[in-house]
């Protein structure tokens, strides 16, 4: 029968004792028989609650330094025995194996151990064997057994049990079994990825335990879910729930701002910087960033690597924007920015983004190492007779960071560490350049003395010719075209400076 099952006997063996006192006290008050192991047994007994030691239950000691405690037929028989199967019931009776109705087990903290030590032996010892086996066994036999695989589920389990007088339905048990397999599969993926660092077996296994349903996906007719824990990255101080598109913009914003060391402000729109400037003071950085494209800035995502002061906040508050992300806020600045209740204000926590990227493609997934290259002056090879001035070198490196984080094909124009304009996501590099020049002129910028950065090489000399006619004096590009000489010759004939980096920065 697949009907309700009463909880009479529980096996409890946990590494993390958080919340366990409340849970076992409730079990004890309801007369649940408790079987336990090692440190958990001591913990339960110290609460004044009687519990039966696994060694007494199995009549077999813990061996191999604790590696083998619960791996015994009497334990697994009591969990896996099918209550409606005649042969199983006969075996349980013949071998005097009591039924176990609930399994409360967690796993050794393998992930935390990997992050905290390089000691391989310590890491290996945190690969759980008994716990994972108990979880899988109880989950497999969900028709008869309730499994609680994490302290995070204690409150949910307590509510369920108390509401139903310690009876569980098939649907309840199946739900907890699904959560148990979520825990066990995540654990196995972590272990595989740790071992695979040395061997690079071509298998894609990524696991995130937590997810949050979003209002919708990229568009209102699409469903969206975020898998991850944004609370580890940001503290939300104000505003509505973060959306799918917000998350994409925040990802672009964080990756961009992390490549700058000077005080910098950026405005992100559809994953691209529409305004960005580095200055000695934050208010000046903001004003110059906004001047780059005050039209596109409307409804954008603002990001900076400096704490927001009241002066900057007062300037920012004049603009409608979706999100602001900063490492901190002065109290007066925060109160000012909170004047709009839906405005999302995020305080960034210290964290490092993963070094690998992946996304779905066709019927599979494509993965790659993140583009972590940030060129410095030592990476620049001057290929023209004219050499860039110190100011031009500074601007070239500045522009090259922005071009790395802008959708291809792209051209970035910059002057005095200010994004003057960019051509974004064009099918032609020439079109990207023309777009950037037209945009710069529309906002009143004088391009004389400005520099140009390209995410990829120039196959022809047309781009440097167009940029020269617009007033550009120095160019940075990866180089590598079979016709590099055409661009170099044009620069030499017209007094332009050009440097190669050797690194292409496509972004799609």
The answer to whether residue 270 is catalytic is yes
Closest C-alpha among 482, 258, 24 to residue 266: 258
Residue burial 427-460, b: 16+ Cβ < 10 Å; e: rest: eebbebbbbbbebbeeeebebeebbbbbbbbbee
Kindly report the number of other CB atoms within 10 A of residue 171's CB atom. Answer: 10
Helix 73-80 with 130-140: angle, nearest 10 deg: 30
Beta strands in 186-339 (DSSP E): 211-213, 225-227, 234-238, 264-269, 272-278, 300-304, 321-326
The catalytic residue among 186, 270, 287, 338 is: 270
φ and ψ at residue 33, rounded to 5 degrees:
-75, 130
What is the rounded distance in angstroms from the CA atom of residue 396 to the CA atom of residue 389? 10
As to burial, measured by CB atoms within 10 angstroms (0-12 exposed, 13-18 middle, 19+ buried), residue 165 is exposed
Query: Which residues does residue 13 pair with via DSSP β-bridges, in sequence order?
Result: 105
Instruction: Report helix, strand or coil for 289.
Output: helix
φ and ψ at residue 368, rounded to 5 degrees:
-155, 160
Query: Which residues does residue 98 pair with via DSSP β-bridges, in sequence order?
Result: none
The catalytic residue among 8, 17, 89, 140 is: 140
What is the rounded distance in angstroms from the CA atom of residue 316 to the CA atom of residue 310? 10
409 preceded by a cis bond (ω within 30 of 0) = yes
The answer to whether residue 93 is catalytic is no
Task: Report the helix count and the strand count for the chain, using DSSP H and E.
Answer: 18, 23
Calculate the alpha carbon distances from 391 to 57, 397, 398, 402, 450 in Å. Answer: 78, 10, 11, 17, 10
Beta strands in 376-500 (DSSP E): 381-382, 411-414, 419-423, 451-454, 474-477, 497-500
Active site residues: 140, 270
């Amino acid at each position: 029968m697949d009907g309700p099952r009463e909880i009479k006997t529980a096996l409890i063996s946990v590494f993390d004792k958080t919340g366990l006192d409340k849970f076992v006290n409730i079990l004890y008050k309801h007369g649940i028989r408790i079987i336990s192991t090692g440190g958990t047994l001591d913990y339960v007994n110290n609460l004044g609650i009687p519990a039966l030691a696994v060694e007494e239950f199995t009549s077999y000691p813990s061996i191999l330094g604790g590696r083998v405690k619960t791996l015994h037929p009497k334990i697994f028989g009591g969990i896996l025995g099918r209550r409606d199967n005649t042969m199983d019931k006969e075996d349980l009776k013949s071998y005097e194996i009591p039924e176990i109705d609930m399994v409360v087990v967690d796993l050794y903290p393998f992930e935390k151990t990997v992050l905290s030590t390089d000691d391989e032996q310590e890491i290996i010892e945190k690969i759980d064997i008994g716990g994972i086996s108990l979880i899988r066994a109880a989950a497999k036999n969900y028709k008869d057994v309730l499994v609680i695989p994490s302290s995070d589920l204690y409150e949910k389990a307590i509510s369920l049990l108390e509401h139903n007088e310690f009876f569980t339905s098939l649907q309840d048990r199946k739900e907890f079994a699904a959560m148990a397999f979520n825990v066990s599969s995540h654990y196995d993926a972590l272990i595989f990825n740790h071992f695979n660092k040395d061997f690079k077996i071509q298998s894609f296994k990524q696991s995130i335990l937590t997810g949050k349903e979003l209002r919708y996906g990229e568009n209102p007719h699409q469903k969206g879910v975020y898998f991850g824990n944004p609370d580890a990255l940001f503290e939300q101080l104000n505003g509505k729930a973060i959306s799918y598109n917000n998350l994409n913009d925040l990802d672009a914003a964080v990756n961009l701002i992390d490549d700058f060391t000077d005080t910098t402000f950026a405005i992100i729109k559809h994953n691209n910087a529409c305004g960005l400037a580095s200055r000695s003071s934050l208010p000046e950085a903001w004003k110059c960033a906004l001047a780059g494209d005050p039209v596109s800035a409307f409804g954008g995502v603002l990001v900076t690597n400096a704490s927001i002061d009241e002066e900057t906040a007062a300037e920012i508050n004049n603009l409608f924007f979706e999100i602001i992300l900063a490492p901190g806020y002065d109290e007066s600045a925060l109160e000012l920015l909170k004047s709009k209740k839906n405005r999302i204000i995020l305080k960034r926590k210290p964290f490092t983004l993963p070094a690998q990227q992946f996304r779905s493609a066709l019927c599979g997934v494509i993965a790659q190492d993140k583009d972590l290259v940030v060129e410095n002056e030592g990476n620049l090879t001057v290929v023209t007779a004219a050499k860039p001035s110190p100011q031009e070198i500074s601007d070239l490196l500045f522009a090259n960071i922005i071009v790395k984080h802008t959708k291809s094909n792209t051209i970035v124009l910059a002057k005095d560490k200010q994004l003057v304009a960019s051509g974004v996501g064009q099918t032609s590099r020439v079109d990207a350049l023309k777009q950037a020049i037209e945009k710069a002129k529309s906002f009143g910028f004088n391009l004389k003395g400005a520099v140009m950065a390209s995410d990829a090489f120039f196959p022809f000399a047309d781009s440097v010719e167009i940029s020269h006619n617009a007033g550009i004096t120095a160019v940075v590009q990866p180089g590598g075209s079979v016709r590099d000489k055409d661009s170099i010759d044009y620069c030499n004939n017209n007094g332009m400076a050009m440097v190669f980096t050797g690194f292409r920065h496509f972004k799609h």
